[in-house]
Amino acid sequence: MEHYMMNLTLKVWKQKNSTTKGSFETYPVKDISSEMSFLEMFDVLNEQLIRDGKDPIAFDHDCREGICGMCSMYINGRAHGPWTKNTTCQLHMRAFKDGDTIVVEPWRASAFPVIKDLMVDRTAFDRIIQAGGYISVNTGNAVDANAIPIDKKDADDAFMAAACIGCGACVATCKNSSAMLFVSAKVSQLALLPQGEPERESRVLNMVAQMDKEGFGNCTNTYACEAECPKGISVSNIARMNREYLKAGLSTED
């Protein structure tokens, strides 16, 4: 890959806090290397803004290696930018060319209120996990990892579902701001394994109830979530959650 330098125009959403109205600010950025990551480009811009005595742009980030799910940016109309199966931190500037204008917005959903600029509050996801995204285990000595036999296919499917990093790109992308892909991945990874069996029914009922309470929209099967998910979580998980929900609804009596 050939290395090149570029000058860009950034249109970034600036918003003081969740109660104020935000607006776009335009920033010119110079001498950006094609080998920088998208967040490194923001670091360069922020250092410049700090030197100039201006307010730097607030954005979320932690691991910068595509596994923590913190970096949430809607770049040129796509969650995590133009590359597929990719997080914002793993998006590199070679995706752009000299002279480009890049529009960056925060995730937009009533369940994800903006904290500041590009940072959104995703604790709604935490509350959904608290509602049922766990298993009960006995304390004491750690059990041997392979003590319980698990079907290879189930183990693979559970692993694929567990790849979800909870970044919220599914909600951000969905035209209805539905959280079905996230919740279904979390329900699936535990429903597929014997360790998840004791809470299997209460889990899906409680997690869906919490999801609805948080004000996420309803799934209409556009599958935009699957297309934009950085971890390639499949919508077959949503079908599985629908099955789990119907089954649990039929068998619980309270």
Partner 1 sequence: MTWKHFFTSSIGKKFVMGLTGLFLISFLVVHCTINSMIFFNDGGDMFNTWAHFMSHNYIVRVLEIGLFAGLIVHIIQGLVLVKQNNDARPVKYSMNDVSANSKWYSRSMGLLGTLLLLFLVLHISKFFVNTKIALYSGDEPHNTFEEMKEYFQQLWVVIAYIAGVISLFWHLLHGFSSAFQTMGINHKRYTPIIKAAGTAFSVIVCVLFALMPLLST
Residue with smaller CB distance to partner 1, 60 or 228: 228
Instruction: Kindly report the backbone phi and psi dihedral angles of residue 152, in degrees, each rounded to the nearest multiple of 5, phi listed first.
Output: -55, -45
Whole-number minimum distance, CB 246 to partner 1, in Å?
6
CB of 188 to partner 1, least distance (A): 11
Stretch that binds partner 1, among 89-97, 118-126, 155-163, 177-185 (CB under 8 A): 177-185
Position 26 contacts partner 1 (CB under 8 A): no
The SS3 of residue 63 is coil
Closest-CA residue to 76 (of 43, 100, 41): 100
Q: Which of 33, 34, 176, 195 forms a contact with partner 1 (CB under 8 A)?
A: 176
* Strand 74-75 relative to strand 78-79, pairing: antiparallel
x-marked contacts with partner 1 along 199-218 as a string, rule CB under 8 A: ------x--xx-xx--xxxx
Among 173, 181, 185, 196, which residue interacts with partner 1 (rule: CB under 8 A)? 173
* Helix or strand (DSSP H, E) at 212: helix 200-213
Q: Which two tokens stand for residue 115?
A: 């904290």
Binding-site string for partner 1 from residue 100 to residue 119, where x marks contact by CB under 8 A and - marks none: ---x-x--xxxx--------
Question: Does 238 sit near partner 1 (CB under 8 A)?
Answer: yes
Closest to 211 in 3D by CA, of 119, 114, 112: 112
Place of tokens 């917005």: 105
d(CA 198, CA 189): 14
**Cβ closer to partner 1: 62 or 210?**
210
Closest distance of CB 223 from partner 1, Å? 6
Least spacing, CB of residue 169 vs partner 1, in Å: 10
Q: Specify the residue, 92 or 240, whose C-beta has the smaller distance to partner 1.
A: 240
CA distances, 54 to each of 13, 42, 51, 115, 170 (Å) = 15, 14, 8, 19, 33
Q: Cα–Cα distance between 167 and 115 in angstroms, integer?
A: 16
Answer whether 94's CB lies under 8 Å from 2's CB: no
Q: Which residues bind partner 1 (CB under 8 A)?
A: 24, 74, 76-78, 103, 105, 108-111, 173, 175-178, 180, 205, 208-209, 211-212, 215-224, 227-228, 235-236, 238-243, 245-246, 248-249, 252, 254
